[in-house]
Structure 1
Amino acid sequence: MFWGGLSRGFISLSPMLGWGADELLQPDERARQIQLASGIGAAVALPFVIRNGFISPLPVVAAVELATVLLLLLPAFLLAHRRRFLTLAESLVLLAGYVIFGVLLIFRGVQGTGMFWALLFPFLCFFLKGQLMGWLYSLGFIGFASIYLFFLRFHLGIGFDYSQTYAIHYLELLCGFTVVAAGFNLLRTRFEERLQVRVAEETAVAKSYLTQIQYQASHDVLTGLPNRIELVHRLSQQMANAGGAGLVVCNLHVRRLHELSNILGHLGGDQLVLSIAEKLAASIGSQGILARTRRDEFVVICPLEPQGPEALALRRQIEQRQFGVEVQGYTLYVEFSVGVSRYPGHSTDASTLLKQAEQAMLQARKSDLPWLLYDPAQEQAFQRHHLLFSLMCEALAKEEFDIHLQPQVDLVSGRWIGAEALCRWHHPAEGHIPPGVFIPIAEESGLVDPLTDWLMDRCVRELRQWRAMGLELGLSINVSALTLLSPNFSDKIRACIERHGVPAQSITLELTESCFMNSLDRSLLVMHHLRSVGFRFSVDDFGTGFSSLSYLKHLPIQELKIDRAFVHKLLAQPGDQAIVTSTIGLAHQLGLTVVAEGIEDAASAAWLAARGCDAGQGYWFARPMPTTDFVQMAMAQRAEAVSSVSAV
């Protein structure tokens, strides 16, 4: 029982005594503590040097204190900057404490309030040397004080003559404060232990989050494949390791991925993307790199030669449109548009190679090709494309666009019955930019809707002015398939005519056959709605599309325009004459008005009139002209017609 209790007591006291304690402080922390202790010690000692040297008659004490600062504390502060001298620096600070507190003890410094200064020494010992060594240094100072107070001062005859009661009282306080300093240091040490553990845990969590964020920043979340940022880095490494060997960079655009994802649902769409990624990864093998750079784009990087059988099989599947993946129990055949660039043939920069492959892919999509190798000539075309896109955005904001009008003429009477509005763009620096250049850019970039909004408002305002001047002419406006199928097109055009007070019957919307080929049901819905308001419809460039004639009977159209390709050399081409004659007859059978485009001579106009063509337009009658010129000519023709009627 006794020995067990003694053992338990010893175990409970061991942390207080510092037995078995680990060194927690790192060298940087030890250095800071040495600098703090030496700095505070010097700052406190120097005022006492002045006081003891000049005010109180204690020159010996002042000299010892000054020497302690210069020879012990200052070197300790400087040595703390060097890791290998940390122990020496700590010893110098403690030695300075021994010297200063010893001098205080000898020269009456611990009498009165000076006792509190001497009682600080145990805190210094534990602060610098830790729990175990703090006890040794503190007990060493207690031992020195006991020897001096009870033995040395009697035999040496130096120092202040303390009473025995005061000496015992001082030693008791010094022992008590040593215990307090040990307890305080133990609490501080345990707090630091817990703090370090908590900091380590928080740091581990932060590192985990950082690793996750870094991974997500460089990889696709769904497939785990490298994204474009990581791909540039890996391609640069691959190029550096390639030596003299070449590399192929393929940008693969998955066609109709959005449509397929809508059919399969969200989870099915994700599964489709994963299946495509898995099959592509299996096809390129271990030598290649597969990345997902956009929602519907992958990039494959593989050696130029030799290509393994898997890569050759992948190319054959893409070319033959036989790339099949299993999703939800079905085999889906996925089509790609692939752009290819080569290292070092096309570029030696990773970002440039990826951009070139993307440009080739976009051109392949535009040309409906499965594969297309990058052509350096594409660079200028793409730069021009992006320049014009930027200029178009500015032109819409600054209203740089204008309309020209080409008259439509009754082929029998020669009377103007209307006009076709043609959008024109004259840029201050680029000059005249043809519609065949900027209209496709508008359709590809999403600017076609704001351009059509401007065109509609401009044309309707022109019609309002005509009506105010007594010109009862119709106006034909071209509408693209994208605009016709946009959700709010019909609402916007109705609001436009209501805002300007123009009847819908005076406006003919010209639609190309592409408006009906892919979305006939939606097109019919919009057309019937607008027809009920009063708008007229015309099929523009008839005969140049690839759809059958069967859709004509379903469309609420009133007019059919024969394309200029059949009219330009009409009299010299029997085949064109047959097509035009048949088209006129078909249109009349369906109750449609026929307008021929591209009439450039009187003979063609007479031939068309003889076959029953109702109206025509072309350079023979008038070129497209500014609105002011059109109004002047229209007013002159109307005045001439009135004069003719009056003469009769």
Structure 2
Amino acid sequence: MLSSTRQDDQPRLQALKDLQILDASQDEILNKITVLTCKLLDMPTCLVTLITDEKQCIKAKTNFPLDETARDDAFCQHTLHHQGVLVCPDTWLDARFRDLPLARQAEQPLRFYAGAPLTTDQGVAIGSLCVIDYQPRTFSEAQCRTLQEMAAVVMALLQSRSAVGLVDAVTGLPNRQRLIADLHEAQCGPRDCVLFLIDGIDITYAYEMGRSLGMPMVERVLCELGDALHRAFCGREKIYCIATGRFALWVPQARSEAALQTLMQCAESLPGGLSLPVPIRLEMHIGYTGFSVPVEAPQQVLRKALSALHDAAEQDVVLLPYRQESDEAQRRAFRLLSDLVECLDRDTGLYLMYQPKFDLLSGEAVGAEALLRWQHPMFGAVSPGQFVPLAENTTLIRPLTQWVIAQATRQLRQWRNQGIMLPVAINVAVSNFAEPDFVERLMVQLDAHGLTPADLEIECLETQKLLGSPAAMACLRRLREAGFVLALDDFGNGHSNLTYLKRIPVEVIKLDQSLIRPLHYDADCRIIVEQVIGMLHRLNYVVVAEGVEDAATLDWLRRARCDRVQGFHLARPMLPEALSALMLPEAV
């Protein structure tokens, strides 16, 4: 008997998997349906059951103690193969049921059973809606019809929930979960395939559109994007919507060139092909990667295609394939950010080195710049040029700058105790200046170590970003009023503008290494630097040249009347102990 009743296991198990309803939780809505069914049919107990290969799962129930039974003990396994409602007036008189444990239990044996199969739109029975009584009874045709109608309601609810779970609610296209499931279930057909991801609208722009025009307009754009892609492939390829404005399709390798040509045509024609009441800026980006069937790790395939898509968007090109080196660099960057959080929490790995600044007339050290370093447990020495820009794009820049301030002020206190009076300069990001409590937190650190604003110089980068942030500019003015020396770092690196200078309340201008290093061989560069130094002096700025690496450059800067210099020729970045030895050689 078991072989005949289980011959359709595979279609049913696949249907249960597609519906995504095989979890252990009770369904409250279905529970209410069982209560209603009991009232309609004047029955004490009603169940919604699902039949797997080994057990009967009770998804919803009224007046029943169990959450599951063995499949061989389930009345409902017989309902799967019955046309219409299966009615058993007395289980003790039915050979199928009389020896089952629930029919022979000592307390309240099940004596009556009626079950209507739960059948999918594809005709696969997955379980039943059944009613139970504890005494024999009859069941009319009208009651059978009512039970069938309620079973149809249950099945419609299960399938609609599945559709919502596997279909994007806005576009009506299969969603990311459906894509992952399809990749996972691909077992036959061409072995080599290609997954394409298409970014149809920048998410930030979509939010701006929603704010200005309302979310219905955004949803209309998304629907038209999905429809346009579907029409472009004439319905021959399955289009997925995996995120807001982001679509996907996968094709056999043999059809990948044709699919790529279609997508490139869409990229050219799509922005002007939408029937929208207002002009919308759309720029399509496409990333793709190859994979083999069967797919062992669908999420990994999607991740690689996503890496390619992000590369295309960042480089502002229409199309890019997956590139392992770019992916590894991005994953390394993410690892660095994650590990940086732990380093800050545990105060391990990060440390400061100090590079002296020298007065060109006297030759004496007049300050030092605190330079952040990181000894990573896996990657070794990591350049600040690699991890600081990553932190600046996240909220991590706040605790990172706070750590630098705490370390620098602590070291300043130690040097003051030794009689070393050099001020220390720290680099501060624009986002730090925009923090409403930055000045207060800075003053707290100084007060904690008995220091004054004259002990700490603030170097700021990114002139254009400074000017674009009213909060940052207000903070600079407050710092200047409090007595801090402010310096504009990396002046002349390609982003500086002379007209900006008087708008930023700084006293010191640091000339970027890109201007200083070519001085000993580039006559044009010497003319530029000489004129810049003269102009800055006339504007009453102190001029510092960084990147001085040879005696010839140092001599030229002295003749050009630069105020201060910094670079490997004079002193490399050093640990605090080495700087102490430099300033107090007699103490060594």
TM-score by length of 2: 0.69
CA shift in 2, pair 1:607/1:462, >3 Å = same
Q: Which residue of 260, 266, 280 maps to 1:314?
A: 266
Are residue 294 (structure 1) and residue 243 (structure 2) matched?
A: yes
2:310 is the alignment partner of 1:358: no
Matched with 2:561 is: 612
Q: Does 1:249 align with 2:220?
A: no
Question: Quick check: which one's strand share is greater?
Answer: 2
In 1, Cα distance between the equivalents of 2:480 and 2:244?
40
Alignment of 1:57-72 (within 5 A): none
Give the C-alpha shift of residue 582 in structure 1.
2.4
* Residue in structure 1 matched with residue 446 of structure 2 by the alignment: 497
Q: Does 1:396 align with 2:344?
A: yes
**Contact in 1 for aligned 2:401/2:432 (Cα 8 Å):** yes
Candidates 179, 189, 209, aligned match of 1:231: 179
Q: Is 1:435 aligned with 2:387?
A: no
The 5 A counterparts of 1:588-603 are: 588-603=537-552
Which residue does the alignment assign to 2:401? 452
Whether the 8 Å CA contact 2:87–2:113 is kept in 1: the answer is no
The residue matched to 2:323 in structure 1 has which SS?
coil
CA distance in 2, matches of 1:201, 1:543: 78
Larger Rg: 1
Distance 1:498 1:362, change over 3 A: farther
1:267 CA drift (Å): 4.6
Equivalent position to 1:375, from 323, 327, 340:
323
> Please, which moves more after superposition, 210-219 or 346-355?
346-355
More helix by share: 1
1:555 paired to 2:504: yes
What are the superposed Cα offsets for residues 198-249 of structure 1, whole Å, 9 maximum, x if unpaired? 8767655554443343223223333333322111233456x66763775351
- Checking the alignment, whether the CA contact within 8 Å between 2:446 and 2:453 is kept in structure 1 is yes
Superposed displacement of residue 424, structure 1: 0.9
Distance 2:386 2:575 in 1: 20
Q: Tell me how far apart the structure 1 counterparts of residues 463 and 320 of structure 2 sit (CA, whole Å).
A: 25
Bigger shift: residues 380-389 or 555-564? 380-389
The superposition leaves residues 230-289 of structure 1 with CA deviations (integer Å, 9 ceiling, x where unpaired) of 11233456x667637753512427333244444445555444444544444444542333
Which residue, out of 490, 495, 506, partners 1:541? Answer: 490
- Fraction of identical pairs, as percent: 27
Structure 2 residue runs of 5 or longer lacking an equivalent are: 1-83, 104-110, 115-132
- One-letter amino acid of the structure 2 residue matched with residue 507 of structure 1: L
Aligned CA RMSD, in angstroms, stands at 4.0
Cα distance 1:530–1:323, how it changes in 2: closer, same or farther (>3 A)?
farther
Task: Name which of structure 1's ranges 496-505 and 215-224 shifts more when overlaid on structure 2.
Answer: 496-505
Following superposition, the deviation at residue 336 of structure 1 comes to: 4.3
Aligned residue for 1:475? 424
Q: Distance in 2 between matches of 1:324 and 1:596?
A: 55
Aligned equivalents of 2:241, 2:467: Cα separation in 1? 30
Contact 1:246–1:305 (8 Å) recurs in 2: no
Inter-partner Cα distance in structure 2 for 1:79 and 1:241: 42
Specify every segment of 5 or more residues in structure 1 that has no aligned partner in the other structure, as ranges. 1-23, 36-75, 87-126, 131-184, 641-648
| Matched residue type, 2:486 | F
The corresponding residue for 2:90 is 30
* Partner residue of 2:534 out of 571, 581, 585: 585
Aligned to 1:167: none
1:199-214 alignment runs, 5 A limit: 204-214=152-162
Change (3 A) 1:467 1:79: closer
Deviates more, 1:448-457 or 1:591-600: 448-457
Tell me, in whole angstroms, the C-alpha distance in 1 between the residues paired with 2:139 and 2:483: 85
CA distance in 2, matches of 1:288, 1:559: 62
DSSP 3-state at the match of 1:332: coil
| Residue in structure 1 matched with residue 126 of structure 2 by the alignment | none
Instruction: Determine the structure 1 residue equivalent to 2:63.
Output: none
- The answer to whether structure 1 residue 416 and structure 2 residue 362 are counterparts is no
Note if contact 2:353-2:372 (Cα within 8 Å) is conserved in structure 1. Answer: yes
CA distance in 2, matches of 1:615, 1:324: 60
> Is residue 339–residue 358 contact of structure 1 (8 Å, CA) maintained in 2?
yes
Task: Give runs of aligned pairs for residues 257-336 of structure 1, distance below 5 A.
Answer: 257=205, 258-295=207-244, 297-301=246-250, 303-307=255-259, 311-316=263-268, 329-336=277-284
**From 385, 391, 413, the counterpart of 2:333:** 385
